[in-house]
Amino acid sequence: MSRSASWRTHACGELRGGDAGAEVVLCGWVANRRDHGAVAFVDLRDRRGLIQLVADEDASGGIDQALRKLHPEYVIQVYGRVRLRDEANRNPERPTGDVEVVVDKLVTLSRAERLPFEIQDELDVPEILRLEYRYLDLRRPPVRRMFELRTQANHSIRSTLIENDFLEIETPLLTRSTPEGARDYLVPSRSRPGSWYALPQSPQVFKQLCMVGGLDKYFQIARCLRDEDLRADRQPEFTQLDMEMSFVEEDEVLQLVERVMVALYSDLRGEELPTPFERLPHAEAIARYASDKPDLRNPLEVVDLAGSPEQPGPAGQLGFGVFDTVLAKGGWVRGIRLPGGAELSRKQIDSIEQAAKDAGAGGAAWCKIGADGPTGPLSRFLKEPSGAAFIEALGGQVGDLLVTLADAPRRALVALDAVRRRAGELLDLVQGPDRLLWITEFPLFEEFDDGVWAPAHHPFTAPVSADIPLLQKGVKEGVRSRAYDLVLNGVELGSGSIRIHDRELQQSVFSAIGLDPAEAQRRFHHLLEAFRFGAPPHGGFAIGLDRLYCLLFGADSIRDVIAFPKTATGSCPLTEAPAPVDEEQLQELGLALSALPSDPSTSQAEAGTASQPS
């Protein structure tokens, strides 16, 4: 492919046998140099690949010596002629391996000092060093490949949505602080001292306002920012595919998202996803898998051993003090049958127990089912006939391992999920093609340990119509929402809901979470005011693209698919952000610090807090 440009006619990785005899101008970085006695070879690299450079032995102008003087990562421009390599010297593993460029002229555009690490596919250096010199890391082909794939994926998404009559609309990055489940990043206003912007956790309010504005199909590949505790799959700033539609029900939103996912798998993997995706109500997912994001490739299911006051389960019939204490407090006793798990070693079983402890539970009780009966810590409580009923409830067979957990519901839920995941790994059960799953009918509210109720998704989520009378009576527990999550292999990709478009219903939800009309009006005046002028029924969805792309591209971490990511502490090794600012900047904003940073590497956020105008 010819390039009309002043610096180069071709990219390094584009040249093929059909280009033999062509005069070319190339630019790139010196990948390596090899001296073979009378002949020197240089591999020149740019974004599209490598090409071998060589000088004829009788070349004039000292080209051979110029090639020998090049060092790794020098930026050069070469003029030369493409020729076929000798049959014996061709490299079938390289797309340009049939040809080389005989250099007539070489210009050094930029020299490079000794690098902190080599530019090569496989690299054994600390990640923090790679992030500190991320611009060098980006030169490595495996890293660059992630952003080529990301570009293809973004294009696929845009093409699918535009084909479905969507408008791409950018929403503000400087907005008003609203309660959306995480802390906002705040930006002080210089023109209005004492007032603050917030960086958006999501474009939630604005996309709903687009619906009120009659822009009935909106999407955006949006930047979102949340000041929350970080994990391996979470960054303080991230990208999501944001969508909203008017005059739709759940099925239409889910089908649209499925079309986006089908196109992505087809365009990037050449795979055909079966549709419709599986659906599972939230209550059933919790009951069967102890998770609202189960990996359906793992066949292990959870069994309720507690029962109810009307129909007590087998756990309370064993005389096991741990079970009895938990049951008396209204806690959970649940078990998981591991087919063939009796073959696991004690060390492997200990790792299952440790998974439960790491998830916050006190531990796990287990037994193996042998031909002569159960063995293991739980076995001494499994006396006839209650023991047989207990084993039968779990479906235990000879050769199985039965693992049980007893704890408060919230802790038990997390621990059971951890046990199920760990057991699936040990037994090599997690196999087969990708499984995409919709979780539906989430609770509208969730109760925290301190008794405070909050929206399970966000306060604009509509309740299931049949549960609105409960909401109006002040009931929170058991009220279902018209919310839905998309799960891929046990990872939540995104969530959405049918929104509230009725002003009175919206106020009922605000009241349920403790926002009185005056406070709701203060925080959401712009949305509530808009609802006065004709708001259409609408719903939407958002997919975390960094997380999706990490899974889709086979990356080890979401940091691998982000050009300039933060560390797990939210810092940027490249720019050393967050960092102190000049005193003059603070004074201009009318701010003062209650404490100064202890050293230049400590951010102001860590050292003190900002006050109102001084």
CATH number at 354 reads 3.30.1360.30
Mean local confidence (pLDDT), 23-41: 90
pLDDT for 361-378, tens place per residue?
Answer: 999 999 999 999 999 999
| Degrees to nearest 5, angle at CA 252 with 246 and 258 | 125
**pLDDT for 178:** 72
Whichever domain contains 51, its CATH number is 2.40.50.140
> Do 306 and 413 share a domain, yes or no?
yes
The mean pLDDT value for 322-341 works out to 95
Q: List, edge to edge, every strand of the sheet that includes 483-488.
A: 167-168, 217-225, 237-246, 538-544, 491-498, 483-488, 436-440, 278-281
Question: Domain check: are 353 and 267 in the same one?
Answer: no
Lowest-confidence pick of 139-143, 160-164, 260-264, 600-604: 600-604
Query: Is 548 among the domain residues?
Result: yes
Q: Is the pLDDT of residue 181 over 90?
A: no
552 in the same domain as 481:
yes
CB atoms closer than 10 angstroms to residue 110: 9
Predicted pLDDT at 317: 92
Tell which of 59, 86, 110 closes a domain: 110
The backbone torsions φ and ψ at residue 330, rounded to the nearest 5 degrees and listed phi first, read 80, 20
Q: What pLDDT, on the 0 to 100 scale, is given for residue 99? A: 97
Shared domain for 421 and 447, answered yes or no, is no
Is the same domain home to 94 and 178?
no
**Which DSSP helix (H) or strand (E) runs through 484?**
strand 483-488
Tell whether 159 and 66 lie within a shared domain: no
Write down the pLDDT at residue 600: 45
Q: What is the mean pLDDT of residues 27-51?
A: 91
Other CB atoms closer than 10 Å to residue 508's CB: what's the count?
A: 16
481 in the same domain as 389: no
Q: Is residue 358 part of a domain?
A: yes
> Does 524 reside within a domain?
yes
* pLDDT mean over 269-275: 96
Does any domain span residue 544? yes
Considering the domain boundaries, does residue 602 fall inside one? no
Choice between 50 and 3, residue whose per-residue pLDDT is larger: 50
Q: Tell whether the model's pLDDT for residue 451 goes beyond 70.
A: yes
- Rg over CA atoms, the chain: 30
Q: For residue 246, what are its two tokens? A: 């008017």
- Please tell me the pTM assigned to this model: 0.90
**Alpha helices in 467-601, H assignment, sequence order:** 468-472, 503-512, 517-531, 545-553, 583-589
**Average of per-residue pLDDT values in the chain:** 91
pLDDT of residue 612: 40
In eight-state DSSP terms, residue 468 is H
Q: Are both 268 and 158 inside the same structural domain? A: yes
Cis upstream peptide for 459 (omega within 30°)? no
What is the tally of structural domains in the chain?
Answer: 3
Region 324-336 average pLDDT: 95
Q: Do both 514 and 495 map to the same domain? A: yes
Q: Assign residue 196 the CATH number of its domain.
A: 3.30.930.10
Assess whether 259 and 308 both reside in one domain: no
* 509-517 mean pLDDT: 84
Domain final position from 400, 426, 452: 426
Classify residue 85 by its DSSP letter.
P
Q: Answer yes or no: is 567 within a domain.
A: no
Choose the final residue of a domain: 373, 397, 426: 426
Q: Is residue 152 part of a domain?
A: yes
Residue 255, domain extent: 144-281+436-561
Please tell me whether residues 440 and 421 are part of one structural domain.
no
In a domain, 539, yes or no: yes
Residues 269 and 151 in one domain: yes
